[in-house]
Amino acid sequence: MLDALQKLGRVTLGFFQRLGRGHLFLLQIFTTIPGVLIRPRLILTQLYTVGVLTLLIILVSGLFVGLVLGLQGYNTLVDFGAEDSLGVMVALSLVRELGPVVAALLFAGRAGSALTAEIGLMKATEQLSGMEMMAVDPVQRVVTPRFLASFISLPLLAAIFSAIGIYGGYLVGVGLLGVDDGAFWGQMQDKVDLQGDVYNGIIKSIVFGFVAGWIALFEGYDAVPTAAGVSRATTRTVVHTSLAVLGLDFVLTALMFGD
Amino acid sequence: MTEPVVQIRDLHFARGERMIFDGIDLDIEPDGVTAIMGPSGTGKTTLLKLIGGQLRPQSGSIRVYGEEVTGLSRHGLFELRKKMGMLFQSGALLTDINVFENVAYPIREHTRLPDALIRDLVLMKLQAVGLRGASAMMPSELSGGMARRVALARAIALDPMMVMYDEPFTGQDPISKGILVKLIRELNDALGLTSIVVSHDVLETAAIADYVYLLSQGKVIEHGKPEALLASDSEWARQFLDGKADGPVAFHYPAADFRDDLLRGGRA
Ligand SMILES: Nc1ncnc2c1ncn2[C@@H]1O[C@H](COP(=O)(O)OP(=O)(O)O)[C@@H](O)[C@H]1O
Ligand SMILES: [Mg+2]
């Protein structure tokens, strides 16, 4: 009994210590942003590895999600004779929800895990310590450029995901099932609100980019510097980012569209 | 007498429950090679990290070039570290850039020199460690001995005043050991450095050191000129220098009574 209580105490303490370290880490990232901004090349290289290399999986997944939305949406809408609204349905699902959320989940699997493993291995092989001893701040040099790259690329990737998804819905709806071309785009233009829908979707993906980058980099930086430690950290990145994204999505949706 | 480069007084450092340093006094004189020897796990690496300010002691003073490391701000520490080079046990080269870029790295980070000049500087440092020909290789293509020499070229890239070597000879074949031994001494004299060599290779280290500290169990056990230490008849020094399994340093890591441990049966 006492053992269990002790264990509970230790786990709880450990959790809050980690939470504290995580926030200090974020603060460190913030303080080094100005130093990174004057060296945009650092960010550009990371935009390539974090963003561009994730593009393919985003394109393919976006297309398939759009195709499925087109099929499912048509089957439901046609019963009510409302198949002309397919464009609206596809666009709203993507822009409000699926674009930001699915892009963030894919991002965690493709880019987040890679970031954690990279930073964790750099820690395990003393590269980060080595930088410290060369009077180079590893947070500024290694972590912050990757954080900014995540923060910038996820909203763009989510937008691309939505765009290609809408095109997928169009292919199935208009190309295959014979929905009227003009109605598909016209109703979409009419009913999708720039402020209420598009901006809110962008805000979501900005928040997700922030959280995904923070979690992935912190897990790597805080990893136990061994092979097993880095592997655990990589798994945690994917799991925690996914949970955080889904949880935050609910909170943000409630705030934005709740009333 | 000249002021020591590193002056450590009554240093206490613990990791969790475990006391690593229990009151250490140590001076590193300028322009020489000082060796710090002791069995694995005594805290030699830890000591270098304390001197470099990567770890903070629980109590005691560490002065490097007259500055109290334990009280320095992050900025002050970074300024101080520009005067130090450190060779990590693993080399700690950046694995995603080649040998040339690794050596150029600290120069690019800390100066605004034109590329042509950086190129000359880097080639000079690589020439000094005999690896100018390897400048296009990636760290993963280097042998252990070559990686350490590249790391050494990087450590001296900014012309530091002091270089710390963490077990430079461990895991090296006799030839690269010999090369490293010679390099450390030659660079020390040619560049007017102060060198700290952490090692447990008694003969190699004694051959190039001007002064030796022997550490064990959180204390400085002996110190003096290498010849004097090699001739020492203290029980502890003899155990370490002659490599005896048991002596003042026990073979067994501290543990509960063996009989009690066995009698407890399956309960760990
Ligand atoms: N990051 C760490 N966390 C906890 N204990 C550590 C850590 N690094 C080293 N130690 C412990 O500190 C002691 C000294 O380590 P170290 O300085 O690496 O010894 P040496 O370099 O003399 O072999 C060892 O007992 C080691 O287990
Ligand atoms: Mg060591």
Across the range B50-56, mean pLDDT stands at: 90
**pLDDT digit string, tens, across residues A69-80:** 999 999 999 898
Average confidence (pLDDT) over B62-67: 89
Report how far residue A56's alpha carbon sits from residue A59's, in angstroms, rounded to the nearest whole number. 5
Instruction: Identify the CA nearest to B184 among candidates B34, B2, B20.
Output: B34
Confidence of residue B267 (pLDDT cuts 50, 70, 90): low
Whether chain A has a CB inside 8 Å of the CB on B101: the answer is: no
- For residue A53, CA distances in Å to A45, A110, A168, B151 come to 11, 9, 22, 31
Query: Which residue is listed with tokens 């960010």?
Result: A43
> What pLDDT was estimated at residue A209?
95
pLDDT at A223: 93
Mean local confidence (pLDDT), A228-246? 95
Q: Are A134 and B106 inside 8 Å of each other by CB? A: yes
Q: Is A31 on the interface with B (CB under 8 A)?
A: no
Q: How far apart are the first and last CA of chain B?
A: 57
Separation CA B68–CA B7 (nearest Å): 9
C-alpha to C-alpha distances, A73 to A76, A92, A178, A191, A257, nearest whole angstrom:
5, 12, 13, 16, 21
- Region B117-123: mean pLDDT is 92
Asked whether A78 and A111 are in contact (CB, 8 A), the reply is no
Q: How far is the CA of B130 from the centre of ligand 2 (A)?
A: 26
In the 3-class helix/strand/coil scheme, how is chain A assigned residue by residue? Answer: CHHHHHHHHHHHHHHHHHHHHHHHHHHHHHHHHHHHHCCHHHHHHHHHHHHHHHHHHHHHHHHHHHHHHHHHHHHHHHHCCCHHHHHHHHHHHHHHHHHHHHHHHHHHHHHHHHHHHHHHHHHHCCHHHHHHHCCCCHHHHHHHHHHHHHHHHHHHHHHHHHHHHHHHHHHHHHHHCCCCHHHHHHHHHHHCCHHHHHHHHHHHHHHHHHHHHHHHHHHHHCCCCCHHHHHHHHHHHHHHHHHHHHHHHHHHHHHHHCC
The protein residue with its alpha carbon nearest to ligand 1, atom 2, reads B15
Residue A19 CA, ligand 1 centroid: distance in Å = 26
Q: If you measure CA to CA, which chain A residue comes closest to B164?
A: A133
Q: Which residues of B touch A130 (CB under 8 A)?
A: 86, 88, 92-94
Share of chain A above pLDDT 70, in %: 100
Strands B59-64 and B219-224, by their bridges, are unpaired
pLDDT of B1 higher than 60: no
Residue B166 alpha carbon, nearest atom of ligand 1: 21
DSSP B10-68: EEEEEETTEEEEEEEEEEE-TTSEEEEE--TTSSHHHHHHHHTTSS--SEEEEEETTEE
Instruction: Please give the C-alpha separations between residue B37 and each of A9, A113, B28, B213, in angstroms, as whole numbers.
Output: 41, 41, 14, 6
pLDDT score recorded for residue B207: 85
Query: What does each C-alpha distance from A77 to A63, A81, A222 come to in angstroms?
Result: 21, 6, 50
Residue A134 and residue B109: Cβ atoms within 8 Å? yes
Residue B194's DSSP bridge partners are B162
Q: Check B84 against A133: CB less than 8 A apart.
A: yes
Q: Which of B13, B18, B20 to probe ligand 1 with, by most ligand atoms within 8 A of CB?
A: B20
User: What is d(CA B46, CA B198) in angstroms, rounded to the nearest whole number?
Assistant: 11
Ligand 1 mean position, distance from CA A157 (Å) = 44
pLDDT (0 to 100) of residue A34: 92
Region of poorest pLDDT, from B83-92, B176-185, B254-263 = B254-263
Confidence bin at A190 (pLDDT 50/70/90): confident
**What average pLDDT is seen over chain B?**
86
For the cut 70, the answer to whether the pLDDT of residue A211 exceeds it is yes
Cβ–Cβ < 8 Å for A256, A248? no
Band (pLDDT 50/70/90 cuts) for residue A259 is low
- Is the pLDDT confidence value at B74 over 90? no
- From B71, B44, B40, select the one nearest B56 (Cα to Cα): B71
Q: What is the pLDDT, as a whole number, of residue B248?
A: 66
Q: Tell me the mean pLDDT in the region B253-267.
A: 75
Least confident of A165-169, B42-46, B71-75, B202-206: B202-206
Which helix (DSSP H) or strand (DSSP E) does residue B108 occupy?
helix B99-110
Nearest to A150 by CA among A22, A53, A248, A19: A53
Is the pLDDT at A158 greater than 80, yes or no? Answer: yes
**Which of B24, B42, B58 has the most ligand 1 atoms within 8 A of CB, as the residue to mutate?**
B42
Return the H-helix or E-strand segment holding B208. helix B202-208
pLDDT beyond 90 at B90: no
Tell me the per-residue pLDDT of A112-153, one tens digit each, with 9 for 90 and over: 999 999 999 999 998 999 999 888 999 999 999 999 999 999
pLDDT tens per residue across span A80-103: 888 888 999 999 999 999 999 999
Residue B198 touches partner A, C-beta closer than 8 Å = no
- Rounded to whole angstroms, the Cα distance separating A139 from B107 reads 19
The arithmetic mean of pLDDT across residues B163-184, rounded, is: 86
Please determine, for residue A200, whether its predicted confidence score (pLDDT) is greater than 70: yes
Atom of ligand 1 nearest to the CA of B89: 21
